[in-house]
Structure 1
Amino acid sequence: MIPNFNAVPSIKLSDLNIIENALQTFNVQSEIILLGVSEKSYLIQKNFVFFALSGTNTHGAKFTADAVSRGASLVISDTEGQKIIESLDLKVPICVFREPREVLSSIAASFFKAQPPCLIGVTGTNGKTSVVHYVKQIWDLLGETTASIGTTGTNGLLDLPLEHTTPDAIKLHWLLNQMVNRGINKVAIEASSHGLEQKRLHGIKFLVGAFTNLSRDHFDYHNSMESYFKSKSILFDRLITENGGAVICIDDDYGARMVELVKSNDFRIVTVGKNRIADIRVLSHSFHARGQEIKISWKGEQHVLSLDLFGGFQANNILLTLGILSMCGENASKILNLVDKLKPVPGRMEEVAVRKNGAKIFVDYAHTPDALEVALRSIRLHFMGQIHLVFGAGGNRDIGKRSIMGEIASNFADNVIITDDNPRNENPATIRSQIKEFCPKALDIGDRAEAILTGIAKLQKGDALIIAGKGHEKTQTFADSSFPFDDAEQASLSVQALDGQPL
């Protein structure tokens, strides 16, 4: 999926109004005509801007010669990139910025100007994907023309896979422009901490921002909870429109902090959660083997909602959905009447198979300590038997969470199998051993397919199994290669093999 610049007008550099904010410029003529932009040298065409950005493993400036050979007429970078480019002795106009990623978003928005009038951004550690999907499902049931952008790709009239939860700035602005061209007027977007920190969402005009919760994740990138929180707060501090609003779950301290930040910006606010002061509040909960019922208070009235969804955490996802839709102007009674039609989100506590004895198998994306504990605690409320778990941890990611997740598995699951997640460039056996040290009762089965089959074979009547970590993903990554692997599909195949049931 490569953005196409052929259908949009060229832009004169002087019309972008960026030069005056540059730290330095070299050989830059303000009358340069720009035909496109890319941060990947191999996508550069004649009269494109090449953004030479710092990356995790290298700096994009090292690819400037390739970009120039393909026709780049301007290079934009940071001070580190400038030094690299100077060492290459290239005759090319250069602009140096303190925050080149923000400039990239600005230029992308200039090429792809159109945005749907109702844009929703959802951030937080857990629940983003579910909330975005539920908002879209209700919109669809109301007859709106909608789309969503996030971990499961783009969904709606425009269905496309994505490499990241929040796409890069060029792709994101191109997608929104395409959606307008197709008549889509309402879009819900997952705003990841990486996407916010890397300015991918700058230039987007969000009508409503929503905050789910905050717990440990991405410490390989953010280093601390405070840094992580500050990245999430960018959505509310810089990206909500002047007349916009915020829907915030206040069941943790970070939610309360986010409310104070939003108040300082004078936005409309709706709070949700179990907290007594929440505007939309969960009053009580009942669970059964087919789903759950929640009793809520909203606008001075009490309502009982039936959900064909598993996990107590779904209650706050639903409250956030109600708050977002209400802030977008949807009728409250219409929304409430449609909640019982919501369907599970792919890979989010999704029931994927049932054994002949009635034991159920779920696939869940839980890959953080908090998400894993919440998933295990929640599913137990639905079932009378034992709770089984198959899980691992991703390679080249936060090593510190492995011990925590091992302890959680040991404390909250009756039977545990540790297996490979996406080992990437780490030794898979080392990752598993780091988890098993804190969950000594677990079986160690590296082959994920074998682990799933073994876990399902152990299920008795009234039991449930969670296959955690990868959720909706369709591949498994070893070293630099990805191979087809689908947890849900593997679970179905295992049940068929064990019970002789047709798929």
Structure 2
Amino acid sequence: MTVLSDTTVIFLYNNIMKLTSKTIEQLLSSHNLLVSQPVTYHEFSFLHYDTRQVEPETLFVVKGAFRPKYLENAQGITGIVSESQLPVDLPQWQVTNVQKALSLLSMAFFDYPQKNLWIGAFTGTKGKTTAAYMTYNILKAATDNHTALFSTVDRITGPKASDRKKSDLTTPESYELFKDMRRVVDNGMTHLIMEVSSQAYLKQRVYGLRYQVGAFLNISPDHIGPNEHPNFEDYLAHKLMLFDHSDKVIVNAESDHLSEIMTHAKKGHDKIYTYSNAEKGGEYTFTSQSSAIHESQLTVQASDLSEMAGAYRLNLPGDFNESNALAALIMAALAGAKHEAMVKGLDTVFIPGRMLSLPIPNHGVAFVDYAHNYASMHALLKFAQSQYPDGKVIVVVGSPGNKGVSRRADFGRVVSELADVVYLTADDPQFESPKTIADEIAAHINNPKLDVHFEMDRIAAINQALLAARDNDIVIVAGKGEDPYQKVNGVDEPYIGDYAVVKNFVATHQGSLTIN
């Protein structure tokens, strides 16, 4: 028997825990979640919230749109945690918030893996994935490949190819989060870099989790809609919660709503690590030296974080990525990384589906990027304009169904401001009509000179855009990157990915052109 604290007694079997009545009571009571409980003693060998995944002696957590009939064919459930008593003859723990309960029980079931990790977290409307990958790459070099990553793109739990999997959510459900965190620890990793979305706090996916360092990159309207945040104020409030659960905090001094951000950060922290471009108000600053189509150069000024100072080559285009690089450098410095690892990490960083470029003879240059909101699209298109001032900016874009409804107006605005041609298409339409979504985007286009096309077959839309491009043009394929599926009617339908579509176009139209 392993005693984790004076109040929590749990049995350890192969790095997962057998939950007992005493454990469950103490965990839930300590967070004022427990309403009622069975009077008899029980113990459970497994925990889950999906009836399709249960095993013998499962403590089952009821969440979402659950119906008691789902239990009929679920063999192995011997106890239930729920917000309301169910009409079944099983021991039940009634709680006030089942999402919080799931997070607490999950971290206990997987033996508190966070206790064995240094964890850094990024939040922000744009740049989370980029900054997370940069920090991950730096710390990989600093820790001899003992760093893990939980991002929008990938969850990397160890050093082998089999330890990498595609992410379904920016921040997964708490059960998957702690399950993967347990894998990270069992694989010998010492550091973890992760993205934390506003939804993670709205849905209590990270309830009870604390970080050594939390970084706030920026804020602009996003994720506002019927199934997400009701308004911008709620969205910002949930972003700010990262500060409440971080030992040290990093803030972009150039962010909108900076006064509100700093006020919240100061509530629990005497020192805030602010950063910015030189002379823009941050304590830690950088100067942009150059930005080209395949890389950018920056210099970080001297500070008390002495390992950061110096010149860097960033293996990503776009001056907007240099700010993310400084946030990554600060986090890596606070994790103990040395200058050599910082230089190597930024020089070699690669982000699947992000800022992938491919020159196409006679058809300009194609860029594939995951840009999926106003802020990220605006930065990307602005950079495209600066690099190709004599050509057209051609955009292929759609917007997801049943989420982020505000993005549709945002995309209409941003292509009106910065694009010459736009192809509106499907992007994870889910249970909505992709044409209806495209029409909503088009309704917010207010530039009469913008050439607007509708093509709901995404592959066809990309091919049409590439075929229309000429030597000095740039084609921006935004939204899906290298995602291997399209979400349609609740099903992940196989999709070859935007970059593969571009490569196939080259192979078809340019014969023997070599693709790197």
Q: Same fold (TM over 0.5)?
A: yes
Alpha-carbon contact 1:359-1:463 (below 8 Å) kept:
yes
Q: In structure 2, what is the Cα distance between the partners aligned to 1:335 and 1:254?
A: 33
Cα distance, 1:268 vs structure 2: 4.3
Q: Give a deviation string over 1:313-356, Cα, whole Å, max 9, x none.
A: 2011101101101111223x3345325513331112222x2212
Partner of 1:427: 433
Alpha-carbon contact 2:141-2:341 (below 8 Å) kept:
no
Alpha-carbon contact 2:103-2:206 (below 8 Å) kept:
yes
**Amino acid aligned to 1:326:** A
Partner of 1:252: 255
Q: In structure 1, what is the Cα distance between the partners aligned to 2:107 and 2:257?
A: 31
The runs of 5 or more residues in structure 1 that have no matched partner are none
Partner of 1:327: 334
* Aligned residue among 13, 27, 35 for 1:18: 27
Q: Give a deviation string over 1:292-330, Cα, whole Å, max 9, x none.
A: 223443418974433231122201110110110111122
**Amino acid aligned to 1:388:** I
Alpha-carbon contact 2:223-2:404 (below 8 Å) kept:
yes
Alpha-carbon contact 1:47-1:71 (below 8 Å) kept:
yes
Q: Give a deviation string over 1:254-294, Cα, whole Å, max 9, x none.
A: 44433332222126421112363212223345323332223
Going from structure 1 to structure 2, the CA distance change for 1:445 and 1:15 (only over 3 Å counts) comes to closer
* Aligned residue among 454, 469, 484 for 1:474: 484
Alpha-carbon contact 2:124-2:218 (below 8 Å) kept:
yes
Partner of 1:272: 275
Cα distance, 1:208 vs structure 2: 0.8
Across the aligned residues of Structure 1 and Structure 2, the Cα RMSD in angstroms comes to 2.4
1:372 aligns to 2:393 (yes or no): no
Q: Give a deviation string over 1:213-267, Cα, whole Å, max 9, x none.
A: 1112211201111111121222221x22xxx311111212344433332222126
Partner of 1:487: 498
Going from structure 1 to structure 2, the CA distance change for 1:397 and 1:174 (only over 3 Å counts) comes to closer
Partner of 1:150: 151
**Amino acid aligned to 1:372:** M
Q: In structure 1, what is the Cα distance between the partners aligned to 2:480 and 2:413?
A: 19
1:342 aligns to 2:348 (yes or no): yes
Q: In structure 1, what is the Cα distance between the partners aligned to 2:384 and 2:183?
A: 40
The 5 A counterparts of 1:65-464 are: 65-66=71-72, 70-78=75-83, 81-82=84-85, 85=86, 89-113=87-111, 114-115=113-114, 116-142=116-142, 143-155=144-156, 156-157=158-159, 158-220=163-225, 221-237=228-244, 239-240=245-246, 244-266=247-269, 268-274=271-277, 276-299=280-303, 303-331=310-338, 333-338=339-344, 340-351=346-357, 353-357=358-362, 359-384=364-389, 385-439=391-445, 441-464=451-474
Alpha-carbon contact 2:46-2:57 (below 8 Å) kept:
yes
Name the stretch that deviates more: 162-171 or 11-20.
11-20
Q: In structure 2, what is the Cα distance between the partners aligned to 1:28 and 1:345?
A: 52
Alpha-carbon contact 1:138-1:342 (below 8 Å) kept:
no
TM-score, reference length from structure 1: 0.89
Going from structure 1 to structure 2, the CA distance change for 1:191 and 1:28 (only over 3 Å counts) comes to farther
Alpha-carbon contact 1:362-1:465 (below 8 Å) kept:
yes
Q: In structure 2, what is the Cα distance between the partners aligned to 1:10 and 1:294?
A: 51
Number of aligned residues: 481
Q: Give a deviation string over 1:401-453, Cα, whole Å, max 9, x none.
A: 31331121122012221111121111122111222233362111221111111
Going from structure 1 to structure 2, the CA distance change for 1:282 and 1:12 (only over 3 Å counts) comes to same
Alpha-carbon contact 2:469-2:475 (below 8 Å) kept:
yes
Q: Secondary structure at the match of 1:407?
A: helix
Alpha-carbon contact 1:123-1:190 (below 8 Å) kept:
yes
Q: In structure 2, what is the Cα distance between the partners aligned to 1:215 and 1:474?
A: 28
Partner of 2:4: none
Going from structure 1 to structure 2, the CA distance change for 1:128 and 1:349 (only over 3 Å counts) comes to same
Q: Secondary structure at the match of 1:265?
A: coil
Going from structure 1 to structure 2, the CA distance change for 1:172 and 1:379 (only over 3 Å counts) comes to same
Q: Secondary structure at the match of 2:166?
A: coil
Q: Percent identity?
A: 23
Alpha-carbon contact 1:197-1:234 (below 8 Å) kept:
no
Q: Give a deviation string over 1:131-190, Cα, whole Å, max 9, x none.
A: 111111112223241110121221242212332121211221121112111111111011
Cα distance, 1:5 vs structure 2: 7.7
Q: In structure 1, what is the Cα distance between the partners aligned to 2:378 and 2:179?
A: 38
Going from structure 1 to structure 2, the CA distance change for 1:19 and 1:7 (only over 3 Å counts) comes to closer
Alpha-carbon contact 2:363-2:467 (below 8 Å) kept:
no
**Amino acid aligned to 1:226:** E
Partner of 2:6: none
Q: In structure 1, what is the Cα distance between the partners aligned to 2:66 and 2:302?
A: 51
Going from structure 1 to structure 2, the CA distance change for 1:267 and 1:146 (only over 3 Å counts) comes to farther
**Amino acid aligned to 2:314:** L
Alpha-carbon contact 1:37-1:50 (below 8 Å) kept:
yes
Q: Secondary structure at the match of 2:36?
A: strand
Partner of 2:9: none
**Amino acid aligned to 2:504:** L
The runs of 5 or more residues in structure 2 that have no matched partner are 1-11
Q: In structure 2, what is the Cα distance between the partners aligned to 1:13 and 1:357?
A: 69
Partner of 2:507: 496
Name the stretch that deviates more: 414-423 or 266-275.
266-275
**Amino acid aligned to 1:397:** K
Q: In structure 1, what is the Cα distance between the partners aligned to 2:286 and 2:231?
A: 31
**Amino acid aligned to 2:413:** E
Q: Secondary structure at the match of 1:222?
A: coil
Q: In structure 1, what is the Cα distance between the partners aligned to 2:187 and 2:238?
A: 32
**Amino acid aligned to 2:109:** F
Cα distance, 1:377 vs structure 2: 0.7
